[in-house]
Amino acid sequence: MTRSEWESLCDGCGRCCLQKLENRKTGRVDYTWISCYLLDTRSCRCSDYDIRTILVPSCVILKPDNVQKLRWLPKTCAYRLLSEGKPLYDWHPLVSGNPSSVHESGISIRDQAVSEEYIHPDDFEYYIMDERI
């Protein structure tokens, strides 16, 4: 798969750019409604994608050889689905042919998340999602 083909697997939901809290005792990972400061919450795309790992050293680059280890990836993530041998959902832009289908289906976090630059780190727990993604 070429880099362009690999990158096209991203459905643009923005979920992987949400801050996550891990319980060190249980290993459980909870998503919050708090996004990385680089995420444009309207487009659900990174505002500085090419240099994101410089600006955010903890940003993970998804590669075919690390996706299966990243258990925090959303269950709907195309990278995760393909690594598990599962098909893409009908709303995925590569299936639907519509780049807005991920937003229209309600899968994306468009206009729902708040940037981490506005939330004190001690308050992250107040933004934990009720549902598992």
Q: pLDDT for 62-117, tens place per residue?
A: 999 999 999 899 999 999 999 999 999 999 999 999 999 999 999 999 999 999 99
95 in Cβ contact with 89 (< 8 Å): yes
Q: What predicted TM-score, i.e. pTM, was given to this entire model?
A: 0.89
DSSP output for 54-71: HHSTTPPPP-TTTGGG-T
**Environment class of residue 56 by beta-carbon count within 10 Å: exposed (0-12), middle (13-18) or buried (19+)?**
middle
For the chain, domain boundaries: 3-127
Please tell me the predicted confidence (pLDDT) of residue 130.
Answer: 83
DSSP state letter for 80: H
